[in-house]
Amino acid sequence: MTQASLIASLAAPPSPTGVELSTLPDSVEWLEVRSDLVGDLNPEWLRKHFRGHLLYALRSRNEGGKSSDSLQNRHRRLKAAAPFYDRVELESNTDCSDDLLAQIPFQQRCVSWHGPAADLVQLKTQFEQLSSVPAAVYKVVTKATEMRDEFIPLSLLKALDRSDTIAYSIGPLGFWSRLVALQLGAPGIYGLVPQGAIAQTGPTINQLIDDYGLPGLRAVNEIFAIIGKPIFHSLSPRLHNAAYCAMNYPALFLPLQVESYDEFWQEVVCSRLLDSLGFSLNGMTVASPHKEATLLTARMISPMSRQAESANILVRHDGWWKADTTDPEVVYMASRERSVKVRHKRAAVIGCGGAGRAIAAALVEDGAVVTLINRGPERGQHASEILGLAYLPLKDFSAEGYDIVVNATPVGRESDEVPFNLETLNEEAVVIDLVYGARPTPLVKTTLARDQIAIDGRDVLLTQVLHQFRLMTGKEMSATLAAEQLGRRPTTGGSLKTIQAGIRKGATDLTTGAN
């Protein structure tokens, strides 16, 4: 197994104690100091708080940074940084003068270019200019406006076949390309120093370690993904990639932030651009708001997906895509693992999106009497019509009298919001909350405080991921490993085995559907 260099980017001023630097994992080799964002920090102070190498970067506005220095002042700052930093980033269009290069030896240089690239030919020309300056590392970052554009720097890496070039894209799909770049020879990867919320366009360095097993680097030939918006909070990459690593399976699981499903399907899936790079896109889990759209592109559709008009997983077999849903698994798990009685019980499902509809259909299948609850009447009434169930507007909903309450909305994720008035909840009611975050949602926390059964979003995720992994790979993910990755206490008895056995038994048959 090879190793990638981890480069933590300091994009906001550090705290006076420097705790965010001193607590970086030991595997982080480099600290990129974005001086255009944080100013010129004292290198001695930095070295007291960070054990690795220092990289000075002064990104100009012309290349997507914040520095508006004159060329003279810019070069003065770069020269001043050189004696104290292990590496200095030089922008190829402005910083390669003989005078400046004389002050910064080639082994200390990272020559970079940031900008739009229309095609591979243009990017190759740009790289020829870049690489004409001797340097330890070259860095090419393209700004993509369309999804197809994000493949251009990866195609460059494949064509170059060299180990001194980092190339990736900042584009609509998010940070996926920098992960694939490692498979194509890029020697390192950038991630943010954790300083609050994770940026939508970039991962923290800790996320790269926790979710993708870095700096260890295994060769892969299959890509799996989760698509949706928002998507970067998802723990699915952590679970899938940990399982691949444990069983030495040559795959990588990526988050792809997709706004337009049709555009994604045409520009990424149908184009098979990943195949041209040597990777097969063989499966995707599907999050909101694309669960309905998947049915229009699948060759085969499961009966439950057809009934709920929703799918949360697409699997590629022999070139064809099959749509299924694992959302109902939470109902089967509640019955198997928590002894929740469903038959003849009154259930309320709050949220009539794809997940809510599939769970409602599963509850009905198991004998419950289900009422659909939704804030907006249009979606609520549509769900009522296709499932043949009663619908009630959220403003009129009281949990009193319901034995099972399911929250299939995003309400409660990293907030103190609740989806309904919790005071109306019956003392014996079972709560199923699909939401998960860094802490239990107020709905789950309140239910547990009342000594009632609560199935929270991480329990739901664990159950679904085990099933999804089997559908996509044909292999079994270790339930114990998955539980550990979610911070759950591993079960030593038979219950985790029971989960897997139930998944095998409950695997859904697929039937042919329209393209």
**Torsions phi, psi of 300, nearest 5?**
-130, 145
Note the pLDDT of residue 198: 52
- Average pLDDT for 128-157: 97
Q: What is the pTM of this model?
A: 0.91
Tokens at 394, concatenated = 């959220």
Q: What does the longest C-alpha to C-alpha distance in the chain come to?
A: 82
Q: How far is Cα 424 from Cα 90, in angstroms, rounded to an integer? A: 63
> Hey, what are 431's tokens?
């709560």
Alpha carbons within 13 A on the beta-carbon side of 274: 26
Give the per-residue pLDDT at 178: 96
Q: How far is CA 312 from CA 355, 430, 513, in A?
A: 8, 24, 16
Please give the backbone phi and psi of residue 331, each rounded to the nearest 5 degrees, phi first.
-70, -45
Rg of the chain's alpha carbons, rounded to an integer?
25
**Please, which residues bridge with residue 7 across strands?**
30, 190
With tokens 């270019």, the residue in question is 113
- Between the CA of residue 289 and those of 230, 304, 325, what are the distances in Å? 9, 18, 14
The per-residue pLDDT for 477 is 97
Question: Measured between alpha carbons, how far is 285 from 89 in angstroms, rounded to an integer?
Answer: 38
Q: Are 90 and 112 contacting, i.e. CB atoms less than 8 angstroms apart?
A: yes
Cis geometry, peptide bond prior to residue 83 (ω within 30 degrees of 0): no
| pLDDT at residue 502 greater than cutoff 50 | no
Place of tokens 């259909």: 361
- Which pLDDT band holds residue 438 (cuts at 50, 70, 90)? confident
User: What CA dihedral angle connects 339, 340, 343 and 349, to 10 degrees?
Assistant: -160
Instruction: Report the distance separating Cα 113 and Cα 103, nearest Å.
Output: 20
Residue with tokens 């243009």: 122
Domains (range + CATH), the chain: 2-217 (3.20.20.70), 329-459 (3.40.50.720)
The pLDDT assigned to 414 comes to 82
Over range 258-270, report the average pLDDT: 96
pLDDT at 413: 86
Each residue of 152-185: b (16+ CB within 10 Å) or e?
bbbbbbbebeeeebbbbbbbbbbbbbbbbbbbbb
Host H or E run for residue 487? none
Q: Hey, what are 48's tokens?
A: 């007291």
Does 514 have pLDDT greater than 50? no
For the segment 405-417, the average pLDDT, to the nearest whole number, is: 92
pLDDT tens, residue by residue, 441-498: 999 999 999 999 999 999 999 999 999 999 999 999 999 999 999 887 654 333 444 4
| Exposed/middle/buried for residue 121 (C-beta within 10 Å: 0-12, 13-18, 19+) | exposed
Q: Say whether the peptide bond before residue 442 is cis (omega within 30 degrees of 0).
A: no
What pLDDT score does 489 carry?
64
Evaluate whether 58 touches 52 at the Cβ level (below 8 Å).
no
pLDDT digits (tens, 9 = 90+) for 145-154: 999 999 999 9
What's the average model confidence in pLDDT over 156-167? 97
Residue with tokens 């698994």: 329
- What's phi and psi for 72, nearest 5 deg? -65, -45
Q: DSSP for 17-85?
A: T-HHHHTS-TTEEEEEEEHHHH----HHHHHHH--SEEEEE--BGGGTSSB---HHHHHHHHHHHTTT-
Is 500's pLDDT higher than 60? no
